[in-house]
Amino acid sequence: MSDGGRRGVAALPVSFIANVGYEAWEADAVVESLAAAGYDSVEWTPDHLGSLRQPASALACQQDLVSRGEEAVTLTLAAIDAAAEAGIGIVNVVAGPNLWEEGADADPEPGPAWDRVVAALERICARADSAGVRIGLEPCWGTIVPDAAAADRLLAEVPVSVCFDPSHFVMTGDPIPELIRRWGERIVHFHLKDAFGRPGMEGEDFLFCLLGEGRVPWDETFGALEEIGYEGALSVEFEAYGYLERILGSDPERAARLAREQVAALIEGPAGGSDE
């Protein structure tokens, strides 16, 4: 893709999920840190539920709707209310089970688990609709909605929108640009995350790596986002945990600055130059 073809994506706001250590920071300090690193907004997590601040792109409330049942739904409903009060229009969710969390049901009975997720999302969407908030479901590894086929099924049953994270579709082999075009206006949030590997367990079968190191076809992906007229945020989800610990000293600010440089290079070309 030529540099000129990226102008639409380059104009989008860039956000950062306040994890990788930001969870322990005061909200105002998070906002200041990310602004200094070149970000336009924050994607908050429930760790700051009582102190949400603007500018914010979304609230990521990725609760395990399969394993944690009513507890997960209750927290998500509270997150919707808090987001609405703070003027945050998107709450991102996953289906569960969250295999990356201790205590997740690693082998749920498919039919009942699916029914629990549908029932939970119906309640969540109803609350969100009344609060003027959109729910972005993220198809995600380790859950009962890991790939395009399962996502299509759920999107047909529940009025959720989509939080699109291309890294998960690397493992499943789903065509990322085609999915963006298929889901179109239902995509309300976009995660910048890269990966390589195959379905299985993180660290054994696949890795979430630094942006540009994995198998996400970034040029084609950005082109598809422009085709559908996507106007939401591009939100960095930093999950290169080995690099974070061993190289960056578990410093979230260093991770945010590094990722912001990678985003600029992906969109604008190396060192911010033209790729003509």
| Domain ranges across the chain | 3-272
Q: How far apart (Å, rounded) are the C-alpha atoms in residues 191 and 234?
A: 6
Q: How far apart (Å, rounded) are the C-alpha atoms in residues 127 and 134?
A: 10
Amino acid at 70: E
Residue 202 pLDDT: 87
> DSSP E strands: which ranges in the chain?
14-17, 41-44, 56-60, 90-93, 134-137, 161-164, 187-192, 194-197, 206-209, 234-236
Residue 270 pLDDT: 67
19: number of Cβ within 10 Å: 17
Q: What is the pLDDT of residues 145-154, one digit of tens each?
A: 999 999 999 9
Q: How far apart (Å, rounded) are the C-alpha atoms in residues 208 and 33?
A: 24
Q: Tokens 């578990």 appear where?
A: 250
Residue 1 pLDDT: 34
Name the stretches of the chain with pLDDT < 70: 1-7, 270-276
Predicted TM-score (pTM) of the model is: 0.94
Per the CB < 8 A criterion, the answer to whether 12 and 42 are in contact is: no
Per the CB < 8 A criterion, the answer to whether 262 and 237 are in contact is: no
Q: Tokens 């005061």 appear where?
A: 26
Residue 271 pLDDT: 59
Q: What is the pLDDT of residues 235-247, one digit of tens each?
A: 999 999 999 999 9
- Options 3.20.20.70, 3.40.47.10, 3.20.20.150, 3.30.1490.20; which CATH number does 3-272 get? 3.20.20.150
